[in-house]
Amino acid sequence: MSQILLGVSASASIHKSCDLASKLSQAGHEVRAVLTENAAKLVAPQLFEALTGQPATTSEWGSGREGGMDHITLARWAELLVVAPATASTLARLASGAADDLLSTVALVLAPSTPRLLAPAMNPTMYAHPAVQRNLARCLEDGWQLVEPATGRLACEEEGPGRLPEVPELVARISELLG
């Protein structure tokens, strides 16, 4: 099976990322999670470790480091990078080439031939904002693949596009990319 790096941004849909990590692991994939600092305020990396049996991290600094250059080690390890949920903030970092956290740094070091998948999740007004759409378009130009957000009622009690797709849809798209 494949080695999947799961990037996790801070979103109310983070519970689906936990389920996604679990389902991918149950299917025989090795899954490592890289959480943004804000994502780790919602769900501890240890939960991802429990669900996958693999290390999960938020930073190259402090305890829990695997080596001197974790961003390079993770990028070389990954056969696929999936960012689910991808928030507006994460999309902006990825689109601009900023390397100010472990997730965005890994994305920059990743070999261009490694498939990369974005699954945006955010408020519908935010998702429709021109800056977010520009950033998303830039990511697509840079070779990222996209799972369109689902439409429906969101945690913010608004309706529209912005929901993280259901886990079976994400698993199916990941399977397509892994071919």
What is the CATH topology of the domain spanning 3-178? Rossmann fold (3.40.50)
Catalytic residues: 156
- Each residue's pLDDT, cut to its tens digit, for the chain (179 residues) gives 999 999 999 999 999 999 999 999 999 999 999 999 999 999 999 999 999 999 999 987 766 566 667 888 899 999 999 999 999 999 999 999 999 999 999 999 988 889 999 999 999 999 999 999 999 999 999 999 999 999 888 788 888 899 999 999 999 999 999 98
**Listed residue (111, 51, 48, 118) closest to 85, CA to CA:** 118
Per-position DSSP letters for 28-91, written without gaps between them: T-EEEEEE-TTHHHHS-HHHHHHHHSS-EES-SSSTT--STTHHHHHHHH-SEEEEEEE-HHHH
pTM summary value: 0.94
